[in-house]
Amino acid sequence: MANEKRNRLREEAPEEETAAPKRRSKKASATSEGKWSRFTAFFTDTRTHRVFGLLLVLSSAFLLVAFASFLFTWRVDQDLVGRSWGEIFSPEVKVDNWLGKFGALTAHQFMHTWFGLAAFAFPLWSFLCGIRILLGTWLLPTRRTLGWTAMALLWIPALFGFFFRGELTFLGGGLGVVMTRHLTSFLGNFGAGALLVFAAGAFAVYTFNLSFGWVNDLLAKLKKPEAEPVAEEIAEPVIAQPGVRMKATPDVVLSLSKDEPVMDASTPLSVEEEEERGGGGGGRRGRRDTGARTGDDTHGSGGARPLPCR
């Protein structure tokens, strides 16, 4: 009997021990669920969203000023990168960047090491996302802006890396140096430049749906030159002078007398001809006058009655 009781106690003890961990697991799961709910509630809170939006707007301003300052102070701040972290954060070391050491390091990483001038796309997107969170609207169309920035991050480094070498390699960044090295090794300088031009043209055609109808118009103009307009001749008014025959127009001829021949206006009459013509006209007029007078006299004498003789 004593042995049976002992065996029962031993069998009941493990059951109690196994029941205790079950209770503890329930409490642990409840506490873990409470922590996760708090974590999710923190990130779903609108106040957290607004704070994050303000942080993005301030970050865009910080990056913009740091990048702009890097364009003027990169030569002076270049030796800061080669130093150790202890020397970098030493108060004795000074930089010329407008945002201090942190701005110089950030601008060097984004512009000199990575994307060059194309790094200005990051302040733009930081500002747009911050405004989207704060105001709930996009200032620019998202798809088109995203396409433009993606093209800029790839094409601008390759372009500036192809044209600017030596001290100005930071304009294309490390990405531009690597892309130019690979393109020139595979295609040569001419092929790499042609590929860059083709990429820009293809992007413009796809984005703006450009047509090449203006090429046909240009070729047509080159083949068929336009006829020069003929200036219309304006006839000047012709003033007739006595004794001079003048031609007003090719079709109309002005003259003082229908019986006399037509003479050109450019050849005036000589003095003798004028005298002859004037004298002849005067003689004819004199004859007419004298004839008229004699006729009157005869008519008057013939009409008079003789006086009777006494």
Residues 61 and 130 in one domain: yes
User: Does 203 reside within a domain?
Assistant: yes
User: Does 188 reside within a domain?
Assistant: yes
The answer to whether the CB of 67 falls within 8 A of the CB of 111 is yes
Number of domains in the chain: 2
Residues 57 and 115 in one domain: yes
Dihedral (CA of 161, 167, 171, 174) sign: positive
Alpha helices in 45-172 (DSSP H): 46-73, 85-88, 100-107, 121-135, 142-163
User: Does 160 reside within a domain?
Assistant: yes
Kindly state the tokens that stand for 44: 């779903």
Residues 87 and 157 in one domain: no
Residues 101 and 135 in one domain: yes
Longest dimension (CA), the chain: 228
Residues 95 and 184 in one domain: no
User: Does 13 reside within a domain?
Assistant: no
Q: What is the pLDDT of residue 233?
A: 53
Residues 69 and 91 in one domain: yes
Q: Is 52 left (phi over 0), alpha (psi -120 to 50) or beta?
A: alpha
Residue-wise pLDDT tens for the chain (310 aa)?
A: 555 655 565 555 555 555 455 555 555 565 667 788 888 888 888 899 999 999 999 999 999 999 999 999 988 888 888 788 888 888 888 888 999 899 999 999 999 999 999 999 999 999 999 999 999 999 999 888 998 999 999 999 999 999 988 888 888 999 999 999 999 999 999 999 999 999 988 888 888 787 777 778 888 888 875 555 555 555 555 555 555 555 544 544 444 444 555 455 445 555 555 555 555 544 444 444 444 444 444 444 444 444 444 4
Q: What is the pLDDT of residue 32?
A: 66
Residues 126 and 146 in one domain: no
Asked which of 160, 193, 212 is the last residue of a domain, the reply is 212
User: Does 299 reside within a domain?
Assistant: no
User: Does 129 reside within a domain?
Assistant: yes
User: Does 267 reside within a domain?
Assistant: no
Residues 180 and 133 in one domain: no
User: Does 271 reside within a domain?
Assistant: no
> Which burial class, exposed, middle or buried, applies to 26 when counting CB atoms under 10 A from its CB (0-12, 13-18, 19+)?
exposed
Residues 89 and 150 in one domain: no
Residues 148 and 118 in one domain: no
Asked which of 168, 187, 212 is the last residue of a domain, the reply is 212
Residues 148 and 133 in one domain: no
Kindly state the tokens that stand for 30: 């409840």
Where in the sequence is the domain holding 187, given as residue range(s)? Answer: 141-212
Asked which of 115, 140, 165 is the last residue of a domain, the reply is 140
100-107 vs 46-73: helix axis angle to the nearest 10?
80
Residues 64 and 77 in one domain: yes
